[in-house]
Amino acid sequence: LAEKKPKVVFVLGGPGSGKGTQCAKIVQHFGYTHLSAGDLLREERDSGSENGTMIKNMMNEGQIVPSEVTIKLLQKAMVESGNDKFLIDGFPRNEENRAAFEAVTKIEPEFVLYFNCPEEELERRILNRNQGREDDNIETVRKRCKVFLESSLPVIEYYKAKGKVREIDAAKPIEEVFEAVKVIFAPKVE
């Protein structure tokens, strides 16, 4: 995988900040493959694998699944896609995820797309989503937000220090957020 030098963009932001929504639009316009770490973990949880119960319990508490599990799923999906451009949505969520992904894959992200959105809006969106996700209840949403602030924001700070963060105001309507996203992905005219 590393020899193919795939292009990776990490897409980060709190629960409900619009990562999945915007990734779907980026795929349509810019030819990336969208890999949601959360979707891959939910699929693994439901597949009857030996890690299923552990994944279920951790997700229901808003905790971060050990990186070896998530990285294996991401690597497999990258190889199977046949593509060389990826949006990795919702990963890395903590310093351990970040360091392990880099060590195992030798891949450095091109940049990090960060959807910044206030917590009240995140809660409102998650509680309105209504798609049967077990972790979409007020108690777990609060835990997910806390884990985001404590564990995931430091990862964003790490990449900020490297000049790699592209921050977007994600509290705006979906189409306005995408206008800002497009500017970042559009080929630069010299």
Tell me which residues touch Mg ion (CB under 5 A): 19-20
Residue from 9, 26, 37, 77 that binds ligand UP5 (CB under 6 A)? 37
**DSSP per-residue letters across 137-164:** SHHHHHHHHHHIIIIIHHHHHHHHHTT-
Q: Which helix H or strand E contains 21, and what residues bound it?
A: helix 19-30
Residue from 34, 98, 125, 164 that binds ligand UP5 (CB under 6 A)? 125
Cβ contacts of 133 within 8 Å, gap of 6 or more: none
Q: Report angle CA 146, 169, 109 to the nearest 5 degrees.
A: 75
Between 61 and 100, how does the x/- string for binding to ligand UP5 read (CB under 6 A)?
Answer: -xxxx----x-------------------xx-x-------
Query: How many angstroms separate the CA atoms of 163 and 112, rounded?
Result: 9
Residue 132 in contact with ligand UP5, rule: CB under 6 A: no
Residue 109 in contact with ligand UP5, rule: CB under 6 A: no
Residue 6 in contact with ligand UP5, rule: CB under 6 A: no
Query: How many angstroms separate the CA atoms of 190 and 182, rounded?
Result: 17
Beta strands at 165-169 and 111-116: parallel, antiparallel or unpaired: parallel
Q: Which does 60 bind (CB under 5 to 8 A by kind): Mg ion, ligand UP5, none?
A: none
Residue nearest to ligand UP5 (CB): 38
Q: Is 14 helix (H, G, I), strand (E, B) or coil?
A: coil
Q: Which does 164 bind (CB under 5 to 8 A by kind): ligand UP5, Mg ion, none?
A: none
Q: Is 15 helix (H, G, I), strand (E, B) or coil?
A: coil
The distance of closest approach from Cβ of residue 106 to ligand UP5 in the complex, given in angstroms and rounded to an integer, is 19
Q: Which residues bind ligand UP5 (CB under 6 A)?
A: 13, 15-21, 36-38, 41, 58-59, 62-65, 70, 90-91, 93, 125-126, 129, 135, 144, 173-174, 177
